[in-house]
Chain A
Amino acid sequence: MQLSSLLLAGQGKSLTSLFSLLYLILFLPACIIGYTVIPKNWKKYFLLLASYGFFWLISGELLIYLILTTFSVHYFGIWLDRINGQMKEALAALPKEERKGAKAGFVKKQRLVVALAVVLHIGLLLVLKYSPFFTTNVNLLLNKMGLSINIEIPKYLMPIGISFFTLQAVSYIVDVYRGVTKADDNLFRLALFMSFFPQIIEGPICRYNQTAEQLWNVKPIEYKNLTFGIQRILYGMLKKIVIADRLNLFVSNIFDKNVDYEGGIIAIGAICYTVQLYMDFSGSMDAVVGTAEIFGVVMPENFQRPFFSKTISEFWKRWHITLGAWFKDYIFYPVTSAKKMKKLTSGARKKLGNHYGPLIAGSIALFCVWFCNGLWHGSAWSFIFFGMYHFVLILIGNMLEPPVQTMNKKLHINPKWFVYRLLQILRTCVLVVIGELFFRARGLKAGMNLFTKMVSDFSFTTLNDDLLKTLSADKYDFIIVGVTLLIILTVSILNEKGICIRGSLAKRNIVLRWCLLYALLLYIIIFGAYGLGYKPVDPMYAQF
């Protein structure tokens, strides 16, 4: 393929991933070289230009959405700041006893501005992402009611990453309103925060206070940052190219073909999809964090070894951490902090005690979080079900906590015992895999069918080489995936114990370090799933 055709705006199909050849051998090295040779004062503008260039290459004219969002949040931020300035001036001129009332008027004004901004940005996301789903369901309802009205299903082109940068935009506005951050009067700084190229496809969802200043106060590229960044990118490639992409065809064949597989095969498919999703998303995050590290920027981590979690609640504190934190800060606590909720908590605690009392308000907030979480992932009933599934699991976990503690005490079970913790981890993994089965299935009905088949016909009688062949896999695929997973498991166990492998390696002999780096690269080149027989797989979370 001609390079020129690869670089056509919005047609750069080879540039939809941080692991694409075009990105790794051309775009990223060009950015690093350009960034290094450009004078210090211009580096930040270079990063901004590179970020907009990257977005244009993957989304073409849809870049306009990002530009308009940036202009909009910039304006809303300044508007809120102005009201804040007026409030301070007015209150300073008033006696203390009159201030409370006067402040309420200004706060009301600010709330209206925030509401307008949120409606505008979330509204745009809702229209682009959910109107086909909404229209389809309205049509179904009308048909069921016997009305022969058929509303045309709208189709919109959605820019990549809109679900991520919209949440970043909303968090900036709310943080300015809350006084967590000052409104940025520098449009370019805000634009760089909104568009930094490694994170634009799949996040992490950053807060203004976390990355804006770091990106603006750029540093020259240092040897340590460069090597650490490259190591992290390679580790991400190991997860994405060797494991996730290798499992792709196998998983697609199980979930996308209308073949009646036996339960055991469906269970293997669900486990493989869970592994694929984790390796794809966390591998991409390694590439994002590693790329940012090269430029001296510390990104928030999005994963913390989620499959070591003992409960579903803990799992979601370790998986897609920045999304969970966003929901906690902008939905969970605002809902539980509402006046009526506080009243409910106070009253219920007196009647139901310390655990079940606050659980009512907490569960209402949790419902809102998981409904939004499900919807955020996609506009289909299966995603809403996915959200509700986790809501119910967490709710059951919360409700059973006191009786389980009592039972453990009575039976003299120490929850810190290794076997007990291992069983808890296994239980969490099983529940996660079931959730992912519904998440991956082509619709809620298909998910139900697969789940029913999985539990009612759990056997492996048809599992043989011929079946694997029809599923575009062989035993060598599973050996490669298994060995690579063992490597990642070892690294994860060491990390879980607080051992920083990169830090320890950095103290070793330079020859050993480079040998290991080349060995990792060679391993990816030899065992990676690319080229003939493989289809390049777009980042899985980019579609959300």
Chain B
Amino acid sequence: MERLIEILEDIQPDVDYANCTDLIDGHYLSSLAIISLIAELEEEYDITIPAVEIVPDNFNSAERIMKMIERLQEEY
């Protein structure tokens, strides 16, 4: 989780990622930030994030992002 928050802070600083639960709905992360985030997450966690996963529910909090990463890592 710490590494994920580091990545998020690198892409979009000045957001309380530990507690924020509306990163998309609250417009903290723009679509450009999401494009960067996806590229970084794929590189960092060796996963592929398909277009279908790019929904607010998966990106609204650091916890939700982590859950998506773990799910994609689990998928064979």
Contacts and interface: CB of A to CB of B under 8 A. Distances in A.
B35 A178 contact: no
A358 B32 contact: yes
Given A336-B35, A358-B32, A358-B35, A99 B76 contact: yes
A342 B52 contact: no
B36 to A, nearest CB: 4
B51 A346 contact: no
Contacts of A343: 39
Interface in A338-369: 342-343, 345-346, 349, 354-355, 357-359, 361-362
Contacts of B40: 346
Contact of A337 (B10, B12, B33, B49): B49
Given A91-B76, A178-B52, A334-B51, A354 B35 contact: no
Contact of B50 (A96, A178, A398): A178
Contacts of A337: 38, 49-51, 54
A329 B35 CA distance: 14
Interface string B31-68: 11101101110110000011110100000000000000
B11 interface: yes
Interface string B13-38: 00000000000000000011101101
A345 B52 contact: no
A22 B23 CA distance: 49
Given A359-B32, A362-B32, A398-B32, A349 B39 contact: yes
A398 B39 CA distance: 20
Contacts of B76: 91, 96, 99-100, 103
Given A91-B76, A329-B51, A362 B31 contact: yes
A519 interface: no
A207 to B, nearest CB: 12
Contacts of A359: 32
Contact of B12 (A103, A334, A354): A354
Interface string A312-334: 00000000000000000100011
A436 to B, nearest CB: 25
B36 A333 contact: no
B32 A180 contact: no
B65 to A, nearest CB: 16
A179 interface: yes
Give the interface size bracket for B toward A. 10 to 19
A349 to B, nearest CB: 5
B32 A333 contact: no
A321 to B, nearest CB: 15
Give the interface size bracket for A toward B. 20 to 34
A415 to B, nearest CB: 13
B54 A342 contact: no
Contacts of A346: 39-40, 43
A342 B76 CA distance: 22
A358 B39 CA distance: 9
Given A99-B76, A342-B42, A346-B43, A354 B36 contact: yes
Given A99-B76, A337-B50, A354-B11, A342 B38 contact: yes
Contacts of A91: 76
Contact of A358 (B36, B42, B49, B50): B36
A122 to B, nearest CB: 17
Contacts of A398: 32
A346 B10 CA distance: 13
Given A178-B52, A179-B52, A333-B54, A342 B31 contact: no
A361 to B, nearest CB: 6
Contacts of A362: 31-32, 35
A346 B76 CA distance: 25
A108 to B, nearest CB: 14
Given A100-B76, A103-B76, A357 B52 contact: no
A361 B36 CA distance: 10
A426 B31 CA distance: 25
Contact of B36 (A179, A180, A329, A349): A349
A483 to B, nearest CB: 36
A84 to B, nearest CB: 14
Contacts of A334: 51
Contacts of B31: 362
Contacts of A357: 36
A362 B43 CA distance: 19
Nearest to B75: A103
A99 B74 CA distance: 12
A355 to B, nearest CB: 7
A333 B11 contact: no
A354 B11 CA distance: 6
A7 to B, nearest CB: 44
A349 B33 CA distance: 10
Given A346-B39, A349-B36, 13 more contacts: A96-B76, A99-B76, A178-B52, A333-B51, A337-B49, A337-B50, A337-B51, A342-B39, A346-B40, A358-B32, A358-B33, A358-B36, A359-B32
17 contacts: A99-B76, A103-B76, A178-B50, A178-B52, A179-B52, A336-B38, A337-B51, A342-B42, A354-B10, A354-B11, A354-B32, A354-B36, A358-B33, A358-B35, A358-B36, A362-B31, A362-B32
9 closest A-B pairs by beta carbon, nearest first, are A99-B76, A178-B52, A333-B51, A358-B35, A345-B39, A342-B39, A358-B32, A346-B39, A358-B36
